[in-house]
A and B are shown apart, each in its own frame.
Chain A
Amino acid sequence: MNLLETTKLTKYFGDTHAVDAVDFRVGEGEVLALIGSNGAGKTSLVNLISGLFQPDSGQIRLRGADVTSLSVHERIKAGIARSFQIVNLFDQLTMLDNVALSIFARQDMTRYFWSLADRFDAVWQEALEILRQFGLERTRAIVAGGISQGERKLLDVAVAYALRPRLLFLDEPTSGVSTRDKAQIMNIVTSVVRSQGITAVIIEHDMDIVFKYSDRIVVMHDGKILADGTQEEIRRNDSVTRTLIGVADA
């Protein structure tokens, strides 16, 4: 069963067709890789689904319910969360605070102004447990602005994961980190996601990571879906090879 479906989803920026009548689907529980060259429309598609932009036309359905006109806040409540290509964290708050804030928001507790945040033990315990899952508990008391890029990437995902989403978009979770850290990050992220049965869409450029960690691959080019299939199907797809690697026709 499909968790998410888009129908003829379209977004133009002036004359640029960022997302051009895209029919995109994600199955329940799968880890899907969304690949394509720079400017292919991957991040734009995620921005449309997560609510950062409103589409010019088309429809987005989550478990059959139309979420196209919902606000970001409502989409999060519906179960859509995301991390960012350029890490977005609360830099002056501790790592523990960063995760706890997601939990407070998820439970509609950020409205509470009459009681101290420290008194909500269950929230802090859950935040600590999430940091533990992501291997970050040792640095929990350090402000997010003072940690390494690899830890920032992991924390960015942990903040989104703390919202307990059904569908998690991971926008280049390993960009800007060393090759050694890439594998470490992906191992942690995919094990957490798979163990919780969360559906994940990973935008990634590194084909080793794409082939190692995803169940299915969707290739975008010029705002359209160029190919959609298993790893073997994508490997054997000539148009994908030509577009992504630039190999000339035989």
Chain B
Amino acid sequence: MAGYRRPYRPSEARQQKGQTAPQEPNLVPIMNLFITIIPFLMLMITIQVSLLALNFASDSTGSGGGDGPGGGNQDKIVEIHLMIKQHDDAGLFPGMEVREPDAEIHKLPWLNENVYDYTRLNDLLAQLKEKYSDTTEIAVIVHPDVIYDTLVRTIDLCKTNGFVTVHYRNPKAVYFY
């Protein structure tokens, strides 16, 4: 058997005894560091809220009385009135009223109790933005009983339709229901 080759065997070198298995790095200090940092970071992590800005920099805001907060700039801009009570003599009704400067008034009454017609408001604001494309200002006039959620949604729709500078005003007249 000329072609027969012996299989390789483990080395028989004598130095085998002195060789040691490769050691794993000691990860314990790193683990300690991680375990210290992670609870600290978990305490600091939070679900961030979004923010909706009202800017009063250009407004001549007074004491907060009278015309209300951010009432300042009295240029003729589109106004959205948010109402909740029915009062025929005062022209109030539950819903929204969009007033164009020197032009028509769009009435958007409630769909149901406390259900405002935001879809129509959104469409109307898109039309108004095309009509008044040179302005980014709009005023939201809110009655005290209107829920905060309604105010924020209305401001949100104004901003998404390009009216990014929103003035927040009180009604000029004080109503005693």
A binds B: no
Chain B residues within 8 Å of A, Cβ to Cβ:
none
Chain A residues within 8 Å of B, Cβ to Cβ:
none
